[in-house]
Structure 1
Amino acid sequence: MKYIVFPTEKLDEIPQEMLDELHLTPRKSVDGTQVIMKIVHYEALFPSIMTLPLLDEKEKTENPIYPYPTYEGEELNTLLSGPDWSSDESII
């Protein structure tokens, strides 16, 4: 599963009713400045932000280009275990 990290300000543009309708509770970074969510949810909220790359005749791909970094697999695990996404404070 692929995830995207983007500024919280972008998420603030989306009405809470829309997030509720899609049953989304996006995860924010420890400092609250970034949000991480599944690509499929990002595409549902921001369909016009994605672009397809310009290709020459040899390349054939339909993978969109996102304006923010995407993560999956071990790279995602490393990100989420880092200080920006996990707090050292214990939850009581």
Structure 2
Amino acid sequence: MKWLVVPVDELKQFDKYWEYRRKSVDGTQAIIHEGTYNRLVPPVVTIPETDDPIEVTYPYPLLGGEELVEMLNTSEWSTNLDLNEKI
């Protein structure tokens, strides 16, 4: 699974459930699942003439796996500072 890190001020503009998203400790950023973001803000892509997969580019960081766990375990995202614990 992949997640986008979106500024809360921008998230409020298109997500009526923004208050329920996981937010940073200071409340300025939130994470939203890539699929949910795509439903709320459908990606605009040019359809290539080949059968190559289409890569969507987002205006926000897209994180997943260990990279997401590491971010969520930082002091910016968690008041629980046990960085050895997995989320």
Which TM-score applies when normalising by structure 2?
A: 0.74
Q: Does the CA contact (< 8 Å) of 1:51 and 1:66 recur in 2?
A: no
Q: Deviations over 1:22-59 (max 9, x none)?
A: xx821111001101011011111222xx3447x8x8xx
Supply the AA of the counterpart residue of 1:4. L
How far does the alpha carbon of each residue in 1:33-92 deviate from its partner, in whole angstroms, 9 at most, with x for none? 101011011111222xx3447x8x8xx331211010010111011011011110148xxx
1:1-92 mapped onto 2 (5 Å cutoff)? 1-14=1-14, 16=16, 19=17, 25-47=20-42, 50-52=43-45, 60-88=52-80
Segments of structure 1 that go 5 or more residues without pairing to the other structure are: none
Local SS of the residue matching 1:6? strand
Higher helix proportion (structure 1 or 2): 1
C-alpha RMSD over aligned residues: 2.7
2:5–2:31 contact (8 Å) kept in structure 1: yes
Q: Is the contact between residue 14 and residue 41 of structure 2 (CA under 8 Å) also seen in structure 1?
A: no
**Which consecutive unaligned segments of at least 5 residues does structure 2 have?**
82-87
Deviation at 1:15, TM superposition (A): 6.0
Percent identity, please: 36
**Cα gap change, 1:15/1:66 in structure 2, threshold over 3 Å: closer, same or farther?**
closer
